[in-house]
Amino acid sequence: MARKYFGTDGIRGRVGEHPMTVDFALKLASAAARVLAPEGGTVLIGKDTRLSGYMFEAALEAGFVAAGVDVMLIGPLPTPGIAYLTRKFSCDFGIVISASHNLYDDNGIKFFDRDGGKLSDGIEEKIEAELERGAITRSSVDLGRASRVDKSRRHYQDFCAESLPKGMTLEGMKLVVDCANGAGYKVVPRTLADLGAEIIPIGCSPNGRNINDGCGSTSPSLLQLTVPGVRAAAGIALDGDGDRLVMVDGLGRVINGDQLIYIIATARKRAGLLKGPVVGTVMSNLGLEVALRQQGVEFKRAQVGDRYVLAMLRETGGDIGGESSGHILLLDRTTTGDALMAALQVLAVMRETGQSLAELAAGMPQFPQTMINVRVARRFDPHSIPELQDSVLKVSNRLGDDGRVVLRPSGTEPVIRVMVEARDETDTVRCAEEIAAVVRRVAS
């Protein structure tokens, strides 16, 4: 059956509009309890810093306790921290209340299974089916209990810190840290400071409404100004729920997810620790593929979305993958994208090699990309149109190994995305416009 509420990363929407309402959250908790812990069990609930997080936390707590499930409330903590602690505390499942990189007037609810992984499509479908039954309340003897475990955040900090090579510290390293006024505002600066780094925090003063607002990984302009201004070694920017990372080098230039993957993967290759291929997406920069090939590292592309990257890593036996946006998977360290964990791996490479972030990123050329979003009257599969296929093939043959074309429909709006990548920016613009013109013609 098609899922009505679950998207690629849980349930998300505008607060106060269905499904992001208190009554829905209550029903969702009851439905999830019946599927994930039918005989009772324990759920760990964390959140980011949105004002609406309080009410959704209360609604979920009530729904789970009424359904006979014990609840552990840990408050603001990055999404990967909930994944890790769900596994560490042997919970039956975990929940994060967050809308990731969206602004505060959105929120979401996402689940982790007992192993810290995302729920399968089949389990999400079962939960949706149970929503039709509404919320239940067991008799007093069968009710669950709720407890606060805020101090347990320290376990996650220690887990991340221990990923550095034995004996390594960050002594003498000045870092600017932008936590997007989100879930990482406490644990990320504390972890880095405990390792000896000098921390200059920005975006670490949440007020319930300023999450992702002109800060964090989606808006790193202040970080770009601050890093060279204070002569820091690097800048670290997370998104609101702490699972995406971009960094800024000493000159104020953004180092994106593709470049960070390159730095980590090539370091693992040199150390003889790299397993399987590196996995990106169809939108990963061609420069990443070319640079890894030159280092003898196989590269594969999955569909856009971290769940597809994860699936391909598991299928191919790889450990490292991710997206240009900074959602980086390090399966030899953890089960989901983790900005703090990824940042520590990059900082470790800087310390081991003595090279700056700029020097490490220089090994991967950034191929120019041109993206044109063509609005259409109705959604359609562009690959089913012979005229479009011919246009893409013609451009691809012209670009050869030094370029590529991605043509795909948007999953959320009536738009066909045309992306062309090549060594020469003029070529990308000309070729993208050529294909976009065909899209407009066949869609008219």
Complete DSSP assignment for 292-335: HHHTT--EEEE-SSHHHHHHHHHHHT--EEE-TTSBEEETTT-S
Paired sense of beta strands 245-248 and 254-255, if any: antiparallel
Look at residues 137, 172, 154 and name the one whose alpha carbon lies nearest to residue 67: 137
- Mark whether 100 is an active-site residue: yes
Q: 321: closest CA among 79, 338, 115?
A: 338
Indicate which residue of 30, 98, 100, 391 is catalytic: 100
Q: Parallel, antiparallel, or unpaired for β 174-178 and 146-148?
A: unpaired
Place of tokens 């475990």: 149
Q: What is the C-alpha separation between 249 and 253, in angstroms, rounded?
A: 5
Distance between CA 278 and CA 288 in Å, rounded? 10
User: Of 246, 318, 238, whose CA–CA distance to 277 is shortest?
Assistant: 318
How far is residue 380's CA from residue 416's CA, in Å, rounded to a whole number?
8
Helix (H) or strand (E) segment spanning residue 263? helix 257-270
Closest by alpha carbon to 64, among 21, 19, 95, 107?
Answer: 95
- In DSSP terms, 236 is beta-bridged to 177, 247
Neighbours of 426 (CB within 10 A): 10
Active-site positions? 100
